[in-house]
Structure 1
Amino acid sequence: MSAAGGRRRRHEEHEEHVNHERWLVSYSDMITVLMALFIVLFAISQVDQEKYLALSKSLAAGFGNGDVQVSSTVFDGGDGVLDGQAPQDQHAQGAGTAGMVSADQGLAEVGQIPTPEPVDPQLLAAAQAEASHLEQVREALRQGLLAQGLDKVVQFRIDERGLILGLIADDVFFAPASAELTPTALQVLDVAAPTLVALQEQIAIEGHANVLPVSGRYPTNWELSADRATQVLRHLVEKDGLAPGRISAVGFGDARPVAQGMDEASLAANRRVDLVVLSDAPENVRELVPTVTHE
């Protein structure tokens, strides 16, 4: 037994074998990490523009801004953020107004503000010529009314339809629920008639009423507004010599108010007739006229 016990003790005291190749595990891990790093660097250096754009759009949509567009300078070699300047140079430049970039410009670059499309120079020139013509007509009418002290009772404006003369002034032109022209209204039409007769454009007479219900002669405001326009048309044709083929009348009832509210001023403003000198320019030219008009 003593011999067996001695062998057991010697077996228990035997030293554990040391693994001298353990460093290979750490070395292989390092090689794997380096290889992954080089793969990532290579992938970054080979940007697929289509995939990049698709990724950017998906990210923008995920953050709730699907309209953001990626600047093409990422791919086209455009100017970078620093633009070849030292940081201190950029700081000095940003301190002055010359180096400041407006917020609108920044938003326009990322697509949040639509960039206006360039206007065809020929269309712009045609719009400027039409606006100048309408302004001359407006000035001729205004001078005639000014000579009679009536310039304050007519409102002028120019829009994509043409020149509009708004016959608006309390009870100057029409009494409530009435289509009868007042003496002031007749005088305004007689002063404006020579200029209107000399024009080539069509003339539209548009009658309007306020929201107050009518009774008696007119069942609704539609008939009232149409009669007001008709009375203006008849006077210009029958008394002032305007060619009947150049003029038309229409009633809009209370559907197109120029003032909101039930106060006396709003009600009076909507009780009106608009005399419109219709521009005969093409539609794409007329759309530009308000943008080049001088008030």
Structure 2
Amino acid sequence: MSMPRRRKKHVEAEHEGPDERWMASYMDMVTVLMCLFIVLFAMSAVDQEKFNALKNSLATGFGQEETEDTDVSTGVVVPAELVSEEGEGFTDIQLALEEVEELEELRAQIHSNLQASGLQDTVSFTIDERGLTVRLVGSETFFDTNRTELAPTAVGVLNATGPAIAKSRYSVSVEGHADARPSVAPFPTNWELASGRATTVLRYLVEATGVPAQRIGAVGFGAARPLVPETSPEGQATNRRVDIVVLSALPEAVRSLIPSIVAEGAG
């Protein structure tokens, strides 16, 4: 007789503890969160150059072209023309603030030079969207009547002004102005008188104080650009002037912010 087959007993393996497969998902989540916090910490004190390198590397990896430089401190996209060679982005307001600071330093230097010669009250200063204007007001102080030769006071003022401008990076426009009274011989019109005085100032700045000739020009406006109405002799004297304009080279959008910055600083 054949022996009856014994049924095999299936013995289930006993677990020593509860199912711990959930730990793998938990550790993945913890790892992701840790990476997120590391990235956030790194971005809080990001190096602009390294950030740009990382950004462009990631963009290339995803098949995209390099993007515009970003000011990571504010999240503002900075146009290429407003980015320095070092790759640091600046907003318009930052550029304007730096320009005002530099122009103020130049104004202070010129004023200090004038003060050393006792001539601080002979000129006025204006900082606006054009740059810094050193204004020689009242032509009789700087020129003899109906003449283009420099008076001693003008020589002193230019000796104090020229060296500071020569050391700066700015270009300069010397602008001659006249009042509205009819011209007198030998000048056919006030245009000739105003431009002649501007040219005399230009030549002295170049020849005697070292302002580079390639950074300076002269123009005469005649009586076309008065500062005040000529209802009195004082008004006429104010309009008879030579302006030495230190020109800002920043884009117009940036320069337009300068007057408000100056006004806020004065307030």
TM-score band, normalised by shorter chain: 0.5 to 0.7
2:203 counterpart letter in structure 1 = R
1:245 and 2:245 equivalent?
no
CA drift at 1:170: 5.8
Tell me if structure 1 keeps the 8 A contact 2:138–2:239: no
Task: Choose the corresponding residue for 1:152, options 101, 121, 129.
Answer: 121
Counterpart of 1:292? 261
CA drift at 1:200: 1.0
| Distance in 1 (alpha carbons) for counterparts of 2:183 and 2:146 | 6
1:279 and 2:243 equivalent?
no
| Distance in 1 (alpha carbons) for counterparts of 2:128 and 2:202 | 22
Instruction: Kindly report which structure 2 residues correspond to 1:36-47, keeping only aligned pairs within 5 A, or say none.
Output: none
Task: Could you list the structure 1 runs, at least 4 aligned residues long, displaced by more than 4 angstroms after superposition.
Answer: none
Structure 1 unmatched runs, 5+: 1-119
Counterpart of 2:236? 267
Instruction: Kindly report which structure 2 residues correspond to 1:97-246, keeping only aligned pairs within 5 A, or say none.
Output: 122-169=91-138, 171-246=140-215
CA drift at 1:219: 0.0
| Distance in 2 (alpha carbons) for counterparts of 1:202 and 1:264 | 33
Counterpart of 2:225? 256
Give the count of matched residue pairs.
176
1:284 counterpart letter in structure 2 = A
Q: What's the TM-score, normalizing by structure 1?
A: 0.57
Q: What's the TM-score, normalizing by structure 2?
A: 0.63
CA drift at 1:155: 0.5
Computing the radius of gyration over CA atoms, which structure comes out larger, 1 or 2?
1
1:177 counterpart letter in structure 2 = N
Structure 2 unmatched runs, 5+: 1-77, 79-89
| Distance in 2 (alpha carbons) for counterparts of 1:259 and 1:178 | 23
Counterpart of 1:101? none
1:275 counterpart letter in structure 2 = I
| RMSD of aligned residue pairs (Cα, Å) | 1.5
1:231-280 CA distances to partner (integer Å, 9 max, x unpaired)?
00011111112111010000000000112124221111111100000011
| Distance in 1 (alpha carbons) for counterparts of 2:228 and 2:209 | 31
| Distance in 1 (alpha carbons) for counterparts of 2:195 and 2:230 | 23
SS of the residue 1:226 aligns to: helix
Aligned identity (percent) is 43
